[in-house]
Amino acid sequence: MKYTQLGRTGLKVSRLVLGTMNFGPQTDEADSHAIMDAALDAGINFFDTANVYGWGENKGRTESIIGNWFAKGGDRRDKVVIATKVYANMAADGEAWPNHDKLSALNIRRAVDASLRRLRTDHIDLYQFHHIDRNTPFDEIWQAVDALVQQGKILYAGSSNFPGYKIAQANETAARRGGSLGLVSEQCLYNLAERRAEMEVIPAAREYGLGVIPWSPLHGGLLGGVIKKEVQGGRRASGRAADTLADPAARARIQSYEDLLDKHGLEPGETALAWLLTRPGVTGPIVGPRTAEQLRSALRAVELELGDELLAGLEEIFPGPGPSPEAFAW
């Protein structure tokens, strides 16, 4: 496994991030524990989750699965950089009770303590804001975060799904207050087929020293050889991937992508991950394996070297927006 610093911090993290969103809803606890053991054995030390994972009446279930794994001992907790998130309403389903969601100081304090209980740990390494809160000023957010850092409950703060201007606003507020690191990471939708983050989000993250953590690196399976799997009688596309393939022009683009990689003898999913690892500012993509084999495939991407010819071919199929403001101005 290869490692890098998380943004401008001294924290070393693996270049693949283990996403845990499937733990509970799609992968049972025993298999989830086996995947985490395999990830740790492979050198992945960066695990990502959120308080809401488990969803519906099982909100918080994923954190509990991770907590039970930590409780097995074997230095599991000490070896893992655990990242979780706050924003979603964690009140019982059907109870729209005030102050159980978003980023008020009250909810941040409540949510941290609840996550710590479920994770069965005394601190969270990276506490991420899952979405922007238009109604809570950053002065209040940083007041709450700074108190938690002083109490030893969290070490770093990060964002997720933030636009570039909110990254700037958050860190300028932190700098004005003094004594706070501000945001050290941004978790955003970014992959070969979805490159809008290159216009504003990634430039802002790099300017302020945030590590970029792409989610959905295979774009809902679209970049994982979906057409080839259909032809071979395997799992058919569903959700966002199926909707995209219904467009003839989009399907032709994905077919060109798969043909290019077939020419080079490469697997689509592994190549999509390896491409992200070449991108400036990227710490590591989040991989969310449902099985041990999916984890092994993701691990191969770390060692994959993409040549200039292949990179040029990928750029031709999936052109980025270009640098801003030139992308939208003269």
Q: Which residues of 31-54 are buried (b: 16+ CB within 10 A; e: fewer)?
A: bbbbbbebbbebebbbbbbbbbbb
- Residue 212 CA to residue 284 CA, distance in Å, equals 7
Tell me how far apart the terminal alpha carbons of the chain are, to the nearest angstrom.
43
- Residue 83 CA to residue 49 CA, distance in Å, equals 6
* Identity of residue 308: D
Residue 266 CB-density burial (10 A; 0-12 exposed, 13-18 middle, 19+ buried): middle
Verify whether residue 53 is a known catalytic residue. Answer: yes
Asked if 21 and 32 touch (Cβ cutoff 8 Å), the reply is no
Q: Catalytic pick from 53, 87, 156, 190?
A: 53
User: In the structure encoding, which two tokens stand for residue 131, read together?
Assistant: 């979405």
Catalytic residues: 53
